[in-house]
Amino acid sequence: MATAELPQGEDPVQRERREIKARMVRALWIPIVAVLGVVFYVLNFSRVLIAGKGNPAILVAALATVTILAGATILSAAPRMRTSSLVMLVAGALGLLLAAGSVVVGHADEHKAASGPAGPTGPAVGSLDVTAEPTLSFDKKAYTVPAGIINVNYIDGGGTHTLVFDDPSLKYFQLAVPGGPKQGKVDLVAGKTYTIYCTIPGHRAAGMEATVTVGAAGAAPAPGPGAAPSTTAKAG
């Protein structure tokens, strides 16, 4: 009489090998995931703290902090949570943190654009023509203009260059060639000397800077139809 073969249990040796392999895999990917998570958290949360100002940043930072604490509490209370639920919870927290950083940075950029200084809009009393040479220099080392609103013309002589003033009150002003803008207005103070330079790394150190000396106030052209054409003072 044939007897039914009894099912045999798993070989202890094979089970031990599988457990060792699983532990080795966990030892490899858990630190990697942890490092990536920390980097992601630091980068995005720092965006909230650095870029954000005022109530929106405080509210977003508080919401992200409460969510992270709540998630940590849930994980500690349910150590045997299913892997799929754990992945969804962690992904949701990281997504919330990413959204928080993006929202606050966007708000900060809009606020900066809205509140930043703007150039003068009145008529110019003179003009300043500056040529960017391919030899990493301007066409002159010193320019002279009258005081008041000056129309700056940046002329492309070759290469890629910018033009800015070193004065903090004129930090809104920047011209560029060949891409532009190549023209803009600045309001310069009588008796003051400004420095203009190229912001591209290495260009100013190579000598691409010059001084702009401001003389007495210039007369603005008289507006209105029929007025005689006015001549604007050129840089000397």
Residue 114: the pLDDT is: 38
Instruction: Give the model's pLDDT for residue 230.
Output: 41
Buried b (16+ CB within 10 A) or exposed e, 220-236: eeeeeeeeeeeebbebe
Q: How far is the C-alpha of 63 from the C-alpha of 57, rounded, in Å?
A: 10
Supply the pLDDT for residue 80: 61
SS3 content of the chain, % helix, strand, coil (to 5): 40, 25, 35
| DSSP output for 70-89 | HHHHHHHH-TT--HHHHHHH
What is the pLDDT, as a whole number, of residue 147? Answer: 95
Look at residue 227 in the predicted model and tell me its pLDDT. 43
Mean pLDDT by 10 residues, the chain (236 residues): 53 77 68 63 56 56 66 62 61 62 50 53 93 94 95 94 94 92 94 95 94 80 47 47
Rounded CA separation 125/147 (Å)? 8
Give SS3 for 222. Answer: coil
Question: Does the domain made of 126-217 have the CATH classification 2.60.40.420?
Answer: yes
Question: Where are the chain's structural domains?
Answer: 13-115, 126-217
Which pLDDT value is given to residue 35? 64
| Core vs surface per residue 80-109: b (16+ CB within 10 A) or e | eeeeeeeeebeeebbebbeebbebbbebbe
What is the reported pLDDT for 179? 87
Q: What is the pLDDT of residues 45-64, one digit of tens each?
A: 555 555 555 555 566 666 66
Q: What is the pLDDT of residue 219?
A: 57
**Triad 189, 193, 197: Cα angle to 5°:** 110
Q: Is 155 left (phi over 0), alpha (psi -120 to 50) or beta?
A: beta
User: Degrees (nearest 5) of the Cα angle 189, 170, 147?
Assistant: 20
